[in-house]
Chains A and B, each alone.
Chain A
Amino acid sequence: MAGKVITVTSGKGGVGKTTATANLGVALASEGEKVVCVDADIGLRNLDVVLGLENRIVYDLVDVVEGRCRLRQAMIRDKRLPELFLIPAAQTRDKSAVSPSDMVRLCDELRIDYDWILIDSPAGIERGFRNAIAPADIIMVVTNPEVSAVRDADRIIGLIEAEEKGPARLVINRIKSEMVRRGEMLSADDVLELLAVELIGLIPEDENVITSTNRGAPVALNGKSKAGQAFRNIARRLHGEKVPFLELEDQGGLLGRLARIIRPRGGG
């Protein structure tokens, strides 16, 4: 078995990298896959709270890299999904405690026994980002339909290409379809046209993401929420399934299409 390494990154902070990593982990593990989530955001640990595993941390990523514990000792098993594990980030160290080759070595060890290794990258384009993408087979760039997030995503996509780690796959998070319909938010089509990159996920804005994070139970555990469904669709696409982008169709519904016909493209 040779597992695949997926790095979730973004450039800009706060667009939903950690949420995406946690939910993708949950979605893949609920399909029976063996998954390890690695928090590479050293010093700003968060994947543990989003997954609801913060009370069970003994060792962390830096302990593994510096040889204070064995890999297995730093892996926290999720009680809801026995095939889901977390390697938490160190909270009291900084990014320089880990090198890109440390990450490659760690992931090569994990690949032997697990199907998917998901790395939650820190924001930015410095050392932490380099660490996170070094072992990646697939890089997912998370963005929001908003100018600063799109600009930073473009920068990151360029860096990923320069490192020959491309093509990046795009996840557009927090889409408010009602605002898109009014022409007051960039649509998924707009973002795709600007970034010219392959799409792998469209996540609607969904209050369930906040309430589920409050509980430490990722939204993908909940079968009914829209965002949870969207994350599960990404997991299916990673398996090569052709899953339609439901939200796109939603935005281009009868009203949206009518509005586009009536309203001239260029505006005033």
Chain B
Amino acid sequence: MNRIIDFLLGRDQRSAQLAKERMKLVLIHDRTDISPGEMEQLKDELIEVISRHVAIEPQDVRIEMAQDGRQQRLIADIPLRSVRQRRVR
């Protein structure tokens, strides 16, 4: 009965779901052998290189590893600074 109440209130997360989400992250790091620390460093260096050519929003840069079958993909989302902001600066 408790479980039904939890479920109705959206409080419950089944252990299998949790296991799957945890494993997704673990496997990505196991497969690529890149630690979260190295990812941060990679991100900082990317920001530095790209900033030399184009103005970007460094605080909004997102870099993540995604799974595509047994292949891993490095996905970088790098927002450019808007033209108006650039002029103000």
> Which segment, of B6-14, B43-51, B56-64, faces chain A?
B6-14
Residue of B nearest to A265 (CB): B17
Verify B30–A186 contact, CB threshold 8 A: no
- Chain B interface residue count, CB cutoff 8 Å, equals 24
Residue of A nearest to B6 (CB): A268
Verify A267–B24 contact, CB threshold 8 A: no
Verify B70–A187 contact, CB threshold 8 A: no
A183-B14, A186-B19, A268-B12 known; A151 vs B24 contact (CB < 8 Å): no
Task: Name A's B-contacting residues (CB within 8 A).
Answer: 147, 150-151, 154-155, 157-158, 161, 180, 182-187, 190, 193-194, 196-197, 263-268
> 6 A-B Cβ contacts within 8 A?
A158-B70, A180-B16, A184-B15, A190-B19, A190-B20, A265-B17
A197 neighbours in B (Cβ, 8 Å)? 70
Q: Which of A161, A187, A268 contacts B13 (CB 8 A)?
A: A268
Task: State the CA gap A268–B11 with chains docked (Å).
Answer: 5
CB distance from A174 to the nearest CB of B (A): 15
A151-B23, A183-B17, A194-B27 known; A157 vs B70 contact (CB < 8 Å): yes
Verify B30–A155 contact, CB threshold 8 A: yes
The 4 A-B residue pairs with the shortest CB-CB distance, nearest first, are A183-B14, A267-B13, A196-B69, A196-B70
B67 neighbours in A (Cβ, 8 Å)? 196
CB distance from B81 to the nearest CB of A (A): 34
Task: State the CA gap A150–B26 with chains docked (Å).
Answer: 11
B30 neighbours in A (Cβ, 8 Å)? 151, 154-155, 158
Residue of B nearest to A146 (CB): B19
Residue of A nearest to B26 (CB): A151
A154 neighbours in B (Cβ, 8 Å)? 27, 30-31
Residue of B nearest to A184 (CB): B15
Task: State the CA gap A266–B7 with chains docked (Å).
Answer: 12
Residue of B nearest to A193 (CB): B20
Residue of A nearest to B71 (CB): A196
CB distance from B2 to the nearest CB of A (A): 14
B53 at the A interface (CB under 8 A)? no
Verify B22–A147 contact, CB threshold 8 A: yes
Residue of B nearest to A158 (CB): B31
Residue of A nearest to B14 (CB): A183
Residue of B nearest to A152 (CB): B30
